Amino acid sequence: MPELPEVETVRVGLGGLLPGRRIKGVEHNWPKSFPNAPADVKEFLVGARVREVRRRAKVLIIDLDSEYSLVIHLKMTGQLVFRGADAAFGAGHPSDSLVGELPDKSTRVIFTFDDGSKLFFNDQRKFGWVRLLPALEVENLDFFKKVGPEPLAADFTADDFVARLMRRKSSGIKAVLLDQTVIAGIGNIYADESLWAAKIHPLTRVTDVPKAKLKTLYSELRKILQLSIEKGGSTDRNYVDAEGKRGSYLQFANVFRRQGQPCSRCGTTIIKTRAAGRGTHICPQCQRYNDSDKEKE
């Protein structure tokens, strides 16, 4: 569930907490959660100081002054929660935290800093991972070489967006939005929300969507991602920010997890169906399948 706005929220949170701290130790209890943690790279981790926290697509990058970087993917249920060393600085858990005492049963990796503060990588379903790589190798990861542009980048235009989507013009548009090599960072929530906003049925082939609607999709998607970042992302069950707090974007969602409720635009009951192999939420009135030809200008 962590998509671009959720990972960005974690980045901002950790960006204010980690830089300058020196890593004193690391523990992990599930090999796949930290596949290359062994001793041969530990020397580049223990004793290193955090320089900067970055994000690309749904991936977090913590740069260290050892010229290595921690690369982290939260996948579906990953959490990165920071806890201070003493009560004066966030030890224990704040009352509005969704996460209790740490470590808990979903804790997979623990980083300890020299002042006694800790960073917990929790991941109930164990799909997420942490890797330690030489900084220079990060951009050479297969994923980073293939991933599409950041949708919120200042120089990412509506024309760029349309051109990228048209690389897979005969596919259903939701599948294309979810394709990280086309556009970075979009997942199930923001695909459903932006398609509702632009009144496009998720199974419509890209080529069958009028250009004007694709441009609407571009601007709605950017607005939605931006709003979600302002609201601290979407917390459905697991997602929390760097302090263990929930995000509130779902209060503003129009279709995601709103099956059975009236569409805020037309009152028709929102339904849940399947598209691109995922649970998919639509307003059957606003997002009609195959109405695209009728609407061509």
Asked if residue 258 lies in contact with residue 111, where contact means CB atoms within 8 angstroms, the answer is no
Q: Looking at residues 68 to 107 of the shown chain, list those that interact with DNA (rule: CB under 7 A).
A: 73, 75-76, 105-106
Binding mask of the shown chain, residues 133 to 162, with x at each position contacting DNA by CB under 7 A: ---------xx-------------------
Q: Is 126 in the site for DNA (CB under 7 A)?
A: yes
**Is the Cβ of residue 42 or residue 278 nearer to DNA in the bound state?**
278
Which amino acid, 21?
Answer: R
Rounded Cα distance between 104 and 86, Å, is 19
Binding mask of the shown chain, residues 236 to 275, with x at each position contacting DNA by CB under 7 A: ------------------------------------x---
b/e code 96-121 from CB counts within 10 Å (16+ = b): ebbbeebbeebbbbbbbbeeebbbbb
Q: Which stretch binds DNA (CB under 7 A): 12-20, 186-194, 220-228, 284-292?
A: 186-194
Q: Which long-range contacts (CB under 8 A, 24 or more apart) does 143-148 make?
A: 143/57, 143/59, 143/180, 144/56, 144/59, 146/180, 146/181, 147/56, 147/57, 147/180, 147/181, 147/184, 148/179, 148/180, 148/181, 148/182, 148/183, 148/184
Least spacing, CB of residue 83 vs DNA, in Å: 21
247: exposed, middle or buried (Cβ count in 10 Å: 0-12, 13-18, 19+): buried
Least spacing, CB of residue 142 vs DNA, in Å: 6
Asked if residue 68 lies in contact with residue 133, where contact means CB atoms within 8 angstroms, the answer is yes
**Is the Cβ of residue 187 or residue 247 nearer to DNA in the bound state?**
187
Q: Is 36 in the site for DNA (CB under 7 A)?
A: no
**Of 17, 37, 50, 57, which one interacts with DNA (CB under 7 A)?**
57
**Of 29, 32, 159, 266, which one interacts with DNA (CB under 7 A)?**
32
Query: What are 254's two structure tokens?
Result: 């129009």
**Is the Cβ of residue 87 or residue 251 nearer to DNA in the bound state?**
251
**Of 162, 278, 284, 289, which one interacts with DNA (CB under 7 A)?**
278
Least spacing, CB of residue 212 vs DNA, in Å: 22
Q: Which stretch binds DNA (CB under 7 A): 11-19, 81-89, 171-179, 217-225?
A: 171-179
**Is the Cβ of residue 278 or residue 288 nearer to DNA in the bound state?**
278
Q: Which stretch binds DNA (CB under 7 A): 48-56, 163-171, 222-230, 244-252?
A: 163-171
**Is the Cβ of residue 23 or residue 225 nearer to DNA in the bound state?**
225
**Between helices 211-230 and 158-165, what is the axis angle to 10°?**
110
**Which residues are designated catalytic?**
2-3, 58, 278
Neighbouring C-alpha atoms within 13 Å toward the C-beta of 272: 11
- Return residues touching DNA (CB under 7 A): 1-3, 32, 57-59, 73, 75-76, 105-106, 124-127, 142-143, 168, 170-172, 175, 178, 180, 187-189, 272, 276-279
